[in-house]
A and B are shown apart, each in its own frame.
Chain A
Amino acid sequence: MNPTGSDSCTPIDISEQDVLEAMKKIQGYIDISPGDFKEVFTIAYNHAMQRIKDSLTAQDIMTRPVHCVGLGMDLVQTALFLAENKLSGAPVVDADGSIAGVISEKDFLAKMGLGASTSFMQIIAHCLTNKGCMAMALRNHPVQKIMTAPALTAGPEMTIGAISTLFVDRQINRLPIVDTEGRPVGIVTRTNLVQSYCVIR
């Protein structure tokens, strides 16, 4: 019923009993069996979800303005910048303001020396057992060296349905939205997506 379940709230699982209760509340004889109503409801619900997925676009749900990291910043500056703005990632822009890549916690963790799929908890465990902080390895590196590039971006017209699919297929958590010149105008995160689906409800 809902192939991209991880991105959306689960659809209402309406029972025939629910339909019967509703029919009792409505004055008059309703010329449909509860089972048939449920079938109509389910199809209509999916239709509505599809319509909303196709009508809501990136510009309706994105966070703006977007905080960007400069290409010239080093990792200490980047970490401070992200911490100050309570972000877990941001687009990286060059001197013209065009997008050059995306930097996120994942890139930092990968740089800290335990391989590409290092998790935060692995780093903690490693630090505690070795009595050392692996973050020192991040000193004196420019952001350019560890960011994910080229960045995966989208235009403001991309539908939330297409964005959801992209998030699942590419296993990403944020998608910078760029104008025609490639400058970031906003960012769609998983949080934005979840909120958009729950507002729909």
Chain B
Amino acid sequence: MQFLQKMRGKGQAPPRVSVAEVCWSWIGSFIGIAAVALLHYKVVDQNALVLLIGSFGASAVLIYGAIRSPLAQPRNLLGGHILSACIGVTAFQWLGVYPWLAAAVAVSTSIALMHLTRTLHPPGGATALIAVIGGESVHRLGYLYVVMPAALGACVMLIIALLINNIPKNRRYPEFWF
């Protein structure tokens, strides 16, 4: 009975943020994703490489939209993407013949590793998953996937976050570095 009782949830949702906060979230994420996407389409893609992956959309929510969150700090952003990329590539290379298994192992192991290293960053789970389900263009990168797109893309997004999030006087990023 208590098991079902717990599913009801009795807490309250946090309040809505101010309009200024919405605007700065929009500006930051627009510029952040624009920077990565421009580099991807104008430079990297023409060399048959990848810089823009889906998990950066999720990172943008955190590092431009919830900048106080521990999940959005540089340690988590960089650590989460890099470690998860390693796990994802390894999972595909070892277990790629069973895609369902490789996908599950990649995501679950990267969450465990992010917890253990205090680098929990939700988009890291997507980075690990994309290493498995990203298709031929991702698979042929091998461990380069860790450096680019994962590390490099996260760095570009981080630079934009540092520049944009510190413009308004009552916004501050990061809370901590490592």
Contact = CB atoms under 8 A, between A and B. Distances in A.
Contact of B12 (A27, A30, A31, A33): A33
A29 B67 CA distance: 7
Contacts of B15: 20, 23-24
Contacts of A32: 14
B18 A27 contact: yes
Interface stretch (B33-41, B49-57, B68-76): B68-76
Contacts of A27: 17-18, 20-21, 168, 170-171
Nearest to A29: B66
Interface string A35-78: 11000000000000000000000000000000000000000000
A12 to B, nearest CB: 19
A3 interface: no
- The CB with the most chain A CB atoms within 10 A, among B13, B68, B70, B171, is that of B68
A35 B9 CA distance: 11
B11 interface: yes
B32 interface: no
Contact of B69 (A23, A29, A33, A35): A29
Give the dominant DSSP class at B's interface: loop
A29 B71 CA distance: 12
A28 interface: yes
Interface string A7-39: 000000000100010011001111111111000
B11 A36 contact: yes
A28 B21 contact: yes
Nearest to B71: A31
B149 interface: no
Interface in A61-118: none
B79 interface: no
B14 A34 contact: yes
A33 B13 contact: yes
Contacts of B171: 27-28
Nearest to B15: A24
- The CB with the most chain B CB atoms within 10 A, among A16, A20, A31, is that of A31
Given A27-B18, A31-B71, A16 B11 contact: yes
A162 B52 CA distance: 62
A30 B68 contact: yes
A30 B11 contact: no
A27 B168 CA distance: 10
B153 interface: no
Interface in B1-27: 10-15, 17-18, 20-21
B11 A29 contact: no
Interface of B: 10-15, 17-18, 20-21, 65-72, 168, 170-171
Interface of A: 16, 20, 23-24, 27-36
